[in-house]
Amino acid sequence: MVRIEDGWHKALMQQWEQPYFLRLTEFVRARYRQTPVFPPPARIFAAFDACPFEQVKVVILGQDPYHGPGQANGLCFSVADGVAMPPSLVNIFKEIVDDIGGTMPASGNLEYLARQGVLLLNATLTVDAHQPASHRGIGWEQFTDAAIEALQARSGIVYMLWGSSAGAKSSLIDSSRNLVLKAPHPSPLSAYRGFLGCRHFSKANQYLCSIGKTPVEWLP
């Protein structure tokens, strides 16, 4: 049985025995035996465990985990304390500081956001070391689509879709009952095409306040 936060387990229970998920499980287990894979096995579902289903008020969608040693911790864009921030995360913090004020934090660990109801979800939950996108197209996308669809039973959630793969999930979201914010990916290759200056963080808080929810403290 998949070990995952109880609310998410119930929301996704129809996935566990589906053929695609069983094939996905076999593939991922084999890869962990054969080669370095990130994040560590116990952290594959960390995004769900850190942000219980009933507490989700913002969803940030990434692509796949960091593929360098010691970087991926199961939360999209996040790294553990003491790990150097990857460029995409640096750009995220730059935009937060420019948007709402404050100073760059010393740590790139985003668990403080998850505790506030920010689901930090990658479209693909595992990756081979040094091989970006190596686990795409094997079933993770169907699983994370199901997670987004499960949230559609609720309203008043902010979805931040950065980059084309995240933007593709907009078709799953009822934009009449939620706030959907799109921008280019924060990587150095695309951040200057519209991510920097998107002001998603202040827009999210304005929306949350307008529907009576507590705004997110975007900096630790």
pLDDT per residue as tens digits for the range 124-183: 999 999 999 999 999 999 999 999 999 999 999 999 999 888 888 999 999 999 999 999
Using one digit for the tens of pLDDT, what is the confidence trace for 96-126? 999 999 999 999 999 999 999 999 999 999 9
The reported pTM is 0.96
Cα–Cα distance, 199 to 36 (Å, whole number): 37
How buried is 62 (Cβ within 10 angstroms: 0-12 exposed, 13-18 middle, 19+ buried)? buried
| Inter-residue contact 198 to 75 (CB < 8 Å) | no
Lowest mean pLDDT among 22-36, 140-154, 160-174, 193-207: 160-174
Residue pair 124/44 in contact by the 8 Å Cβ criterion: no
Looking at residue 2, its pLDDT comes to: 74
Find tokens 């996704």 and name the residue.
Answer: 12
**Three-state DSSP class for 181?**
strand
The letter for the amino acid at 183 is A
Cβ contacts of 22 within 8 Å, gap of 6 or more: none
Phi, psi of 172 (to 5 degrees): -85, -10
Q: What is the mean pLDDT of the chain?
A: 96
Domain made up of 6-210: CATH architecture: 3-Layer(aba) Sandwich (3.40)
Token output for 26: 């076999």
Domain boundaries, the chain: 6-210
Whole-angstrom distance, CA of residue 119 vs CA of residue 55: 9
CA distances from 114 to 48, 117, 124, 128, 216 (A): 9, 5, 18, 25, 10
Using the predicted structure, report yes or no on whether residue 84 has a pLDDT greater than 70. yes
Spatial separation of the C-alpha atoms in residues 24 and 109, rounded to whole Å: 28
For the annotated catalytic residues, the residue numbers are 64
Cα–Cα dist 101/86, whole Å: 21
C-beta of residue 51 within 8 angstroms of C-beta of residue 117: yes
For 76-85, letters b (16+ CB in 10 Å) and e give: bbbbbeebeb
With cut-offs at 50, 70 and 90, classify the pLDDT of residue 1: low
Q: Phi and psi at residue 159, in whole multiples of 5°? A: -115, 120
**Comparing C-alpha atoms, which of 213, 154, 169, 164 is closest to residue 187?**
164
